[in-house]
């Protein structure tokens, strides 16, 4: 648990917050004094919100109008919005030749289009200066890995969106950054981590030689959202145990 209180009096929105990185991030902000709105399609987000002392909202972020609903709930909960964490995402991507139109649309809608819509709705309510947005990209948005086509393309879009939005709002004092997680222990990766080939290619080849815990990602998200990162803007920061920097074959 953090002993810092960087977000006293601040209001934070975290999407995809029922489990995994989102839940850990919501807890981190709450521990640092923020009022947190947790958004997720899964009803268990209400229990997660209760456990961290926040407010839960059950919502499909891919639906048109989701951004307005999130803003309304955040303002009702805290009366202001200081930080937006765009964490909602879905896996299940396949090789392009094995991907149908429905799966392509769903993966890109949730991982990229919804992020644009929600950010567009939240932006007018962020303080100028002082607002902060942290997006969740992925190492798969920065390097090729077979069988992740739609997901990888969407996450690459998140990285570019982070730079693009910086060019549009940084002069207002709103900072936009992203992280690119490596392999994290979450429900989304649970199945993959039972696959020896995936472990060999993704975990064993990570220089630090292990998977990441959600709380480790949450700590970096909180840093980027805080005034400790007051001159950090437009960055997508890999939080991947060195995977992108120095991938190597196991037993190198």
Catalytic residues: 151
Q: What are phi and psi of 195, to 5 degrees?
A: -95, 115
Report d(CA 119, CA 111) in Å as an integer: 13
Report d(CA 45, CA 22) in Å as an integer: 10
Report d(CA 166, CA 31) in Å as an integer: 28
Is cis: bond before 218, omega within 30 of 0? Answer: no
Report CA torsion sign: 231, 3, 40, 73. Answer: negative
Between the CA of residue 27 and those of 7, 66, 75, what are the distances in Å?
12, 23, 19
Residues with Cβ within 8 Å of 241's Cβ and at least 6 positions away in sequence, in order, are 182, 183, 206, 207, 208, 209, 210, 212
């Amino acid at each position: 648990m953090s002993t810092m209180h960087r977000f006293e009096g601040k209001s934070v929105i975290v999407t995809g917050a029922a489990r995994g990185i989102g839940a850990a991030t919501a807890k981190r902000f709450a521990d640092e004094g923020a009022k947190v709105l947790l958004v997720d399609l899964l009803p268990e987000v209400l229990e997660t919100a209760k456990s961290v002392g926040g407010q839960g909202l059950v919502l499909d972020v891919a639906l048109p109008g989701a951004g307005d609903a999130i803003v309304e709930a955040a303002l009702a909960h805290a009366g202001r919005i200081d930080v937006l964490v765009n964490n909602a995402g879905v896996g299940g991507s396949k090789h392009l030749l094995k991907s149908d139109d429905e799966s392509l649309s769903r993966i890109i809608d949730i991982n990229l289009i919804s992020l644009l819509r929600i950010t567009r709705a939240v932006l007018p309510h962020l303080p100028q200066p002082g607002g902060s947005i942290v997006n969740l990209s992925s190492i798969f948005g920065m390097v090729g890995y077979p069988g992740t086509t739609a997901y990888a393309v969407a996450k690459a879009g998140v990285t570019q969106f982070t730079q693009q939005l910086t060019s549009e709002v940084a002069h207002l004092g709103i900072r936009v950054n992203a992280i690119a997680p490596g392999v994290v222990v979450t429900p989304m990766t649970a199945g993959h981590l039972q696959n020896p080939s995936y472990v060999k290619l993704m975990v064993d080849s990570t220089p630090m030689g292990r998977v990441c815990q959600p709380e480790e990602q949450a700590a970096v998200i909180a840093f980027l959202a805080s005034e400790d990162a007051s001159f950090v803007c437009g960055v997508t920061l890999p939080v991947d145990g060195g995977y992108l920097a120095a991938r190597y074959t196991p037993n190198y």
